[in-house]
Amino acid sequence: MAKIRLTKNELKIQKEALKRYTRYLPTLELKKQQLVNEIRSVSTAIEGVEKEIERAEQEIMQWVAVFGEDVDVSAFFKVEEIRTNPGNIAGIDIEIFDQAVFGETEYDLFTTPLWVDQAIVAAEERISRLAEITALQKQMEILKEEMRITIQRINLFEKVKIPEARENIRKIRIYLGDIQTTEVVRGKIAKAKIQKKKELARA
């Protein structure tokens, strides 16, 4: 703890600091709660997308199992771009998944199995969902880091700054009170001496 000056001006500074800390703390607590809610929401979204990915994989495997042809579906399309949009969660800048853009390759409709068209759609959907889950995981990382920083600040105010300011105020008040008491005692002693001199002078 830094040494403080035991003055009325320092007392005012410490009171203002305490007021500022106690006013800011509820804002941090509110932010923490918002982050908890957003982390829970993103976690739920990730679970939902994971289920969609699993469903898409099952669809592809069904077609492969039913028709038995050894066909590499990924040869019929390519990922050209993963688009995201800037967003904001609890005052934090994030990237929100928009869409995956695909470029399709021409193929012979007569020699290619009929189920390939649907398999391409399912595969593209799976890739889109994987891109979405990557964006959500990045959001989760950002939110968790912000949560860590927010908790650190809450602890700093609760466990360090507020108790420190209160202790400083207590010390300054005690010191100023002692000075005031000393001055009163001195004043009374001086008054008594003056009174005694007057009485001796009259005698």
CA distance 140 to 42: 7
- Number of structural domains the chain divides into: 1
Is residue 191 assigned to a domain? Answer: no
Extract the residue ranges of the chain whose pLDDT is less than 70: 1-2, 60, 63-74, 107-114, 184, 187, 190, 192, 198-203
pLDDT given at position 56: 76
| Integer angstrom CA distances of residue 198 from 120, 184, 188, 203 | 113, 21, 15, 9
pLDDT given at position 85: 95
Is residue 139 assigned to a domain? Answer: yes
Q: What element of type H or E holds 33? A: helix 8-67
pLDDT given at position 178: 81
pLDDT given at position 111: 63
Q: Judging by beta carbons within 10 Å of its beta carbon (0-12, 13-18, 19+), is residue 131 exposed, middle or buried?
A: buried
What is the model's pTM?
Answer: 0.74
pLDDT given at position 77: 77
Please give the residue range of the domain that contains residue 41: 24-163
pLDDT given at position 113: 65
CA distance 144 to 138: 10
Is residue 46 assigned to a domain? Answer: yes
Is residue 14 assigned to a domain? Answer: no
Is residue 186 assigned to a domain? Answer: no
Instruction: Specify the CATH number for the domain of residue 101.
Output: 1.10.287.3240
Is residue 122 assigned to a domain? Answer: yes
Is residue 6 assigned to a domain? Answer: no
